[in-house]
């Protein structure tokens, strides 16, 4: 890996399950309204962050490579 990822949570979609926080405690936090947000808008590429995106039941989490904008999750069709 070695990339930096931009992390975006679509709060209009997030249902506050907290699964992303469980998968990546350093990457995500739930706010007082039980909406997830990334701890930082950019992060080092990491398995836990990818697992959080893959595990979100409503696919609210989008990951893209900083610089190139290449899709990490969801993957390009
Ligand atoms: S896993 Fe998805 S729905 Fe659940 S809190 Fe995280 S972003 Fe929201």
pLDDT of residue 27: 97
What is the pLDDT, as a whole number, of residue 9? 98
CA 21 to ligand 1 centroid distance, Å: 8
Which of 8, 11, 13, 16 should be mutated for ligand 1, with most atoms under 8 A from CB? 16
43-73: b (≥16 Cβ within 10 Å) or e: beeeebbbbbbeebeeebbbbbeeeeeeebb
Domains and CATH numbers, the chain: 4-73 (3.30.70.20)
The string of pLDDT tens digits covering residues 25-76 is 999 999 999 999 999 999 999 999 999 999 999 999 999 999 999 999 999 8
77 confidence band (pLDDT: 50, 70, 90): confident
**Closest residue (by CA) to atom 4 of ligand 1?**
17
Q: Is the pLDDT assigned to residue 1 strictly greater than 80?
A: no
């Amino acid at each position: 890996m070695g990339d930096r990822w931009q992390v975006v949570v679509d709060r209009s979609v997030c249902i506050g399950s907290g699964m992303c926080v469980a998968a990546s405690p350093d990457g995500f936090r739930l706010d007082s309204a039980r909406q997830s947000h990334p701890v930082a808008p950019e992060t080092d590429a990491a398995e836990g962050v990818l697992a959080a995106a893959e595990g979100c039941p409503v696919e609210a989490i989008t990951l893209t490579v900083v610089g190139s904008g290449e899709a990490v999750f969801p993957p390009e069709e």
